[in-house]
Amino acid sequence: MGLLEAPQKKATKADVLAAIRSMHVLQIDTISVVARSPYLVLFSRLGHYDPNWLDELLAEGKLFEYWAHAACFLPIDDYPLYRTQQLALERYGFKRAPERLDRDAVGHLHLLDRIREEGAVRATDFEHDGGRKGNGWWDWKPDKLRLETLFTAGELMVARRENFHRIYDLRERVLPERLLNDSIALTHAALVRELSLRAVKAMGVVQARWIGDYFRHAAKTPQPHPDMLVDEGRLIRVDVEGWKLPGYVHWDHRHLLRRAQRNELHASRAALLSPFDPLVWDRERALASWDFDYRIECYTPAEKRKYGYFTLPVLVNGSLVGRADAKVHRAHKILELKALHLEPRSQSNWGLRDEVNGESLARALAEFAAWHGAQTLLIGRIVGRDLDKKSERLLRTNLLNSAARSLKAMVSEREAIK
């Protein structure tokens, strides 16, 4: 949703919820060199919107948090799927949760009693016994570990976030009453089937081996195999140019499939994507579908990074053309692109010298800056395998000038509205 064409209207709070429902998952990450990932994923699809809407939807109970592809915001109507997983406790090391509960039953019960009597809590409400010695969950203070264990087990939920910190409360005080009965849970077979269908629908066209990664619910070949779902009329098997394996499309997207087969789908959207965007989080899928070999390098030692700490994939009119090493200097209202790394094919077949694509990217950079509250855009360098210094300088100047004009107009327009 939202990556084929630019938004046709100003985003609303309902659009935020609709976008999450269409993806089914919105991955959470705390890195904030630009906007935090969940807010950025929504901006890439909706354009300018109020980030507070995401927090409000969580507090209003229209969303909840749990483990899916990773830690995610999820539509509340999908809760029965995750209650099934909570009751099974089989994924993401959840088998540890019963062990922790058994080893420290009294501590967990005391924590639940405290929350029941005193109300919702955050991890920072608790002291760390003996001081912090390292990093990671193994060094969490005991009550932080208890909070996360009870959250994983489904006894606690995130009621809201304050300054992006989780506020935990009892499940029965967060969930709508209609979802409190465990009869809503599915069988394991029904769960895997449903998640596979939703994964295909969310991704558009996929190979079988990518399906299980979307919700991290299955191995390389999910069961039932997608060919069985084709036989049942739930999926459509297709041949994709350049793929040795068949692709699968959800039956609900048959009208889009027909348009694609008639070459009637024309991408006209440029955007900077989060590294945790569903479009790129599966490295194999990004490589096979867009010839884009992407890996986030924030977990790579600085001296071994090739592109940058938190590079943003750059989408222009249906192609992933590069990655931007971006940083927002909030105090100075500056968006800095330390570098824009172009894919080799982008220089020959796409090229910033192409007026349509160049203007699309320039406007996307301006919109990105304006949404972050920046009034100035800086571009350090453009990097490409075949770019000489003169060509790089010309491309950077043209892109920067075009983006700066658009940004100035956007800032002026918003100042006038105020």
pLDDT given for residue 349 in this prediction: 41
Rg (alpha carbons) of the chain, rounded to whole number: 23
pLDDT given for residue 138 in this prediction: 43
Please give the sequence-ordered ranges of beta strands (E in DSSP) within 330-368, or none if there are none: 334-342
What pTM did the predictor assign? 0.92
Measured between alpha carbons, how far is 319 from 299 in angstroms, rounded to an integer? 26
Measured between alpha carbons, how far is 40 from 116 in angstroms, rounded to an integer? 35
CA distance from start to end of the chain: 30
CA 199 distance to own-chain centroid? 14
Tokens of 360: 């699309």
pLDDT along the chain (418 residues), means of 10: 87 97 96 97 97 98 96 97 83 58 83 94 75 47 87 94 95 95 92 96 96 91 92 97 96 96 91 97 94 92 93 94 95 96 65 67 95 95 84 87 92 72
> Cis peptide leading into 7, omega within 30 of 0?
no
* Of 231, 219, 161, 173, nearest in space to 195 by CA: 219
DSSP 8-class letter at 333: T
pLDDT given for residue 96 in this prediction: 58
Q: Are strands 235-238 and 247-250 parallel, antiparallel or unpaired?
A: antiparallel
Measured between alpha carbons, how far is 180 from 57 in angstroms, rounded to an integer? 19
Q: Is 334 exposed, middle or buried (0-12, 13-18, 19+ CB in 10 A)?
A: middle
Measured between alpha carbons, how far is 55 from 373 in angstroms, rounded to an integer? 19
C-alpha count within 13 angstroms, C-beta hemisphere, residue 400: 19
Measured between alpha carbons, how far is 58 from 75 in angstroms, rounded to an integer? 9
Measured between alpha carbons, how far is 224 from 226 in angstroms, rounded to an integer? 6
pLDDT given for residue 414 in this prediction: 73
